[in-house]
Amino acid sequence: MISGIIGKPNVGKSTFFNAATLMSVAVANYPFTTINANVGTGYIRVKCIHEELGVKDNPVNSACIDGTRLIPVKMVDVAGLVPDASKGRGLGNKFLDDLRQADALIHVIDSSGSTDEEGRAVAAGSRDPMMDIEFVKREVVLWVKGLIEKDWPRISRTVESGAAGAPNLVTELMAKLSGLSIRETSIEAAIHKLGLKIDKPTSWNDTDLYDFASLLLDISKPMLIAANKCDQPVSKEIISKLQQGLGENYTIVPCAAEAELLLRRAAQGGFISYVPGDSTFNVKEPSRISAPQRKALELVKSQVLDVWKGTGVQKAINDAYLSLLHGIVVYPVEDESKFTDKKGNVLPDARIMHKGETAKDLAYSVHSDLGETFLYAIDARTGLRVGADYKLKNNDVLKIVATGRKG
Ligand SMILES: Nc1nc2c(ncn2[C@@H]2O[C@H](COP(=O)(O)OP(=O)(O)OP(=O)(O)O)[C@@H](O)[C@H]2O)c(=O)[nH]1
Ligand SMILES: [Mg+2]
């Protein structure tokens, strides 16, 4: 599962990405700082199961800090997009191509209203970010619509011809949208929900194509709004207006990416204890921090943590994978009686899987050989065998049994 960080220029996408991944990609107060996409590893925060199982753990692929498991997930930070990007303005379609593999979109907006539609600095509160939410969504929809429309008259006629061997519409659409991480079932669901005629695509008009692209995106690349720069005084009112305006349509998570970056770097440097997503931090050794550092930490506390109960960055990531994408956590092990891998590490790996995926899907996600030669799995909590079709549950601990030999 991959999430893409999108938005107009200069809203804090790269700052959000750096905070999430602790990488150091370029950040600056002008548009189009980012040109090439940055790919990195962020983390989902969940309560670890080691206490419930009464064991001490030695995580390998993830981390466990005082009972909080941080599980790796892939994230992509892309170039900013401006109105008419789908027609080539700004950096044009480049950012869109970088979004192909994304399963969920984290749309970062400037909730202080201090950047115009192209990301240029303007007076705080003078730009309504609702307009950004609308245009960014529209550009992404127009991009997908453009892909669908290519060669559309010929394809729709062929589909309708009824000639022997004529392709069906879903197959044709899958081919057009290949590499976009879109499933056949999502295409079918969108066509069905809009009441479009699957056997008569020549009857689809321009609005139908737009609506179809839009719904397909909602289903296959769901989006949440990260309302960044919530540390600014004007942001509170703007965010509350946005929440009223959007209602149930989108999840809005107030974020202060810069504050999160500061906290994570201070924690990494050993100055404070702070686990991403915490609502407070503790200074470890007050004598080791300088006066400017202390001042910066005090500001983070008074402007962000005391107001919003957290910086929101971790919440946005968790929401993207666990709510939008219906992710669950599964712990694969080699020895089900001790919850260990071959080397004796306890609860070594935690993986984010889709709700609805099976024991065999888990095997494939560990290694394709394990998937191909899957025999059964053992539920470590009960000791019982489960079959290939067993539906994974959140916090399952499973041993996969496979021959490991193909053929
Ligand atoms: N007040 C405030 N400013 C922030 C926050 N996050 C980022 N910024 C500032 O916003 C500006 C743009 O940050 P970037 O992370 O480069 O933004 P971007 O969206 O990646 O920009 P492009 O790559 O140009 O599209 C910088 O001056 C950041 O310091 C925040 O949480 N609060
Ligand atoms: Mg950037």
Give me ligand 1 centre to Cα 255, in Å. Answer: 12
Pick the CATH number of 2-121+222-321 from 3.40.50.300, 3.30.420.40, 3.60.20.10, 3.40.50.11540: 3.40.50.300
Give CATH 1.10.8.470 domain extents, the chain.
143-218
Higher pLDDT, 86 or 357: 357
Q: How confident is the model at residue 144 (pLDDT cuts 50, 70, 90)?
A: very high
Is residue 232 lining ligand 1, measured as CB closer than 6 Å? yes
Is residue 27 lining ligand 1, measured as CB closer than 6 Å? yes
Mean pLDDT of 320-328: 96
Mean pLDDT of 5-19: 95
* pLDDT at residue 161, as a whole number: 85
Give the residue whose CA is nearest to atom 8 of ligand 1.
12
Pick the CATH number of 328-402 from 3.20.20.330, 3.10.20.30, 3.10.105.10, 3.40.50.700: 3.10.20.30
The pTM of this model reads: 0.94
- CATH hierarchy code of domain 143-218: 1.10.8.470
Q: How confident is the model at residue 225 (pLDDT cuts 50, 70, 90)?
A: very high
Q: Say yes or no to pLDDT of 157 above 70.
A: yes
Q: Say yes or no to pLDDT of 407 above 70.
A: no
Q: Say yes or no to pLDDT of 339 above 90.
A: yes
- Retrieve residue 223's tokens: 């989006």
Give CATH 3.10.20.30 domain extents, the chain.
328-402
Is residue 28 lining ligand 1, measured as CB closer than 6 Å? yes
Is residue 336 lining ligand 1, measured as CB closer than 6 Å? no
* pLDDT at residue 244, as a whole number: 93
Is residue 132 lining ligand 1, measured as CB closer than 6 Å? no
Give the residue whose CA is nearest to atom 9 of ligand 1.
12
Q: How confident is the model at residue 168 (pLDDT cuts 50, 70, 90)?
A: confident
Give CATH 3.40.50.300 domain extents, the chain.
2-121+222-321
Where b means 16+ CB within 10 Å and e means fewer, 80-102 reads: bbbbebbeeebbbbbbbebbbeb
Where b means 16+ CB within 10 Å and e means fewer, 264-288 reads: bebbeeebbebbbbbeebebbeeee
Is residue 62 lining ligand 1, measured as CB closer than 6 Å? no
User: Nearest Cα to 109, choosing from 239, 264, 244, 2?
Assistant: 239
The strand pair at 2-6 and 68-77 is best described as parallel
* pLDDT at residue 167, as a whole number: 79
What's the gap between Cα 251 and its chain centre?
13
- Retrieve residue 382's tokens: 């009960």
The strand pair at 272-273 and 104-110 is best described as unpaired
Report the amino acid identity of residue 358.
T
* pLDDT at residue 303, as a whole number: 96
* pLDDT at residue 47, as a whole number: 98
- Retrieve residue 159's tokens: 């589909």
Higher pLDDT, 345 or 24: 345
* pLDDT at residue 162, as a whole number: 75
Kind plus residue range of the DSSP H or E element containing 402? strand 396-402
Task: Report, in angstroms and rounded to the nearest whole number, the Rg of the chain calculated over CA atoms.
Answer: 23
Give me ligand 1 centre to Cα 99, in Å. Answer: 20
Higher pLDDT, 242 or 154: 242
Distance CA 22, CA 229 (A): 18
Question: How many CB atoms neighbour CB 208 within 10 A?
Answer: 16
Q: Say yes or no to pLDDT of 314 above 90.
A: yes
Q: What are phi and psi of 398, to 5 degrees?
A: -130, 140
Distance CA 383, CA 91 (A): 55
Pick from 47-56, 72-81, 157-166: least confident: 157-166
User: Nearest Cα to 332, choosing from 249, 239, 400, 236?
Assistant: 400
User: Nearest Cα to 310, choosing from 355, 268, 351, 279?
Assistant: 279
Q: How confident is the model at residue 295 (pLDDT cuts 50, 70, 90)?
A: very high
Per residue in 261-287, pLDDT tens? 999 999 999 999 999 999 999 999 888
User: Which of 32, 117, 258 for mutating ligand 1's site (highest number of atoms within 8 Å of CB)?
Assistant: 258
* pLDDT at residue 8, as a whole number: 94
Residue-wise DSSP of 60-99: SSSEEETTEEEEEEEEEE-----TTGGGT-TTTTHHHHHT
Find tokens 């942001």 and name the residue: 235
- Please, what sign has the CA dihedral across residues 365, 317, 146, 206? positive
SS (H, E, C) 342-398: CCCCECCCCEEEECCCEHHHHHHHHCHHHHHCEEEEEECCCCCEECCCCECCCCEEE
Give me ligand 2 centre to Cα 63, in Å. Answer: 27
Give the number of the atom of ligand 1 that is nearest the alpha carbon of residue 15: 15
User: Nearest Cα to 298, choosing from 280, 285, 312?
Assistant: 280
Ligand nearest, relative to CA of residue 303: 1
399: left (phi over 0), alpha (psi -120 to 50) or beta: beta
Is residue 37 lining ligand 1, measured as CB closer than 6 Å? no
Ligand nearest, relative to CA of residue 119: 1
* pLDDT at residue 64, as a whole number: 95
Question: What percent of the chain lies above the pLDDT cut of 90?
Answer: 80
Average confidence score pLDDT of the chain: 93
* pLDDT at residue 135, as a whole number: 95
Ligand nearest, relative to CA of residue 29: 1
Is residue 42 lining ligand 1, measured as CB closer than 6 Å? no
Is residue 258 lining ligand 1, measured as CB closer than 6 Å? yes
Mean pLDDT of 136-140: 94
Q: Say yes or no to pLDDT of 34 above 80.
A: no
